Amino acid sequence: MYNPFTLEGKTILVTGASSGIGKAIAIECSLMGAQIIITGRNIQRLEETLALLKDSAQGKHCLVVADLANESQLKQLANGLPSLDGLVNCAGMTDPVPFQFVTKIKLECVFGINFFGSAMLAQILVKNKLLQKKASIVFISSISGVYCSAAAGSMYSASKGAVNGLIKGMAIDLAPKGIRVNGICPGMIDTAIFEDGRITKEQLEEDAKKYPLKRYGKPEEVAYAAIYLLSDASAWVTGSNLLIDGGYTLL
């Protein structure tokens, strides 16, 4: 059956694959035929993700434990990789703190994971020629810092705004190599990112009412966009950001 979105024959690395959006992307890409390499900091959660990948029992996929904010672990991760057709930079974190209480250490922590780790991983892969010609790099960004922000969201917004600027410059620099670079800007996605209790369930339910579609997005809905950007269906797309926000930024 003809399918322009197939990922058959492609090897794709997904960071932050131990939960949420990264986990969904890894699972959905495996269902589209890709060989998946997943990475994250929690081996137990990574093993849970690995078990859910299509054909995982046949040893088609693998996992690598690594903290992208740790330079030595970042290099070790890259050194053990095969040639890749796709990279999805999904590792991320949030730390809701009002701006007047932001510290340099907190900023460095958020940027270390949301920006520097992803940027340096991509650079290492390019320098080591581990990305195939016509490879696709996808960053999971956010509407925050690009289209809007929120109370206590200055650090997260700044890191995602930086990611979007990086995408534009990388797309230009890597175009001669045939490597495409794009991003996805989701609105609020229903994941475990706020399970630490600083934002209550009632507050989240009230916030969801602000979306024209009256709900948060699902991790799988971001994964479908990633599949498009990783597939040959998007062969003429680079330097773009797909907005997936349930209509939030229309208001």
For the annotated catalytic residues, the residue numbers are 156
Q: Are 180 and 238 in contact (CB under 8 A)?
A: yes
Cα distance between residue 159 and residue 162, in whole Å? 5
Cα distance between residue 118 and residue 92, in whole Å? 9
Q: Are 106 and 151 in contact (CB under 8 A)?
A: no
Cα distance between residue 129 and residue 226, in whole Å? 22
Two structure tokens written together for 224: 């479908």
Cα distance between residue 121 and residue 142, in whole Å? 19
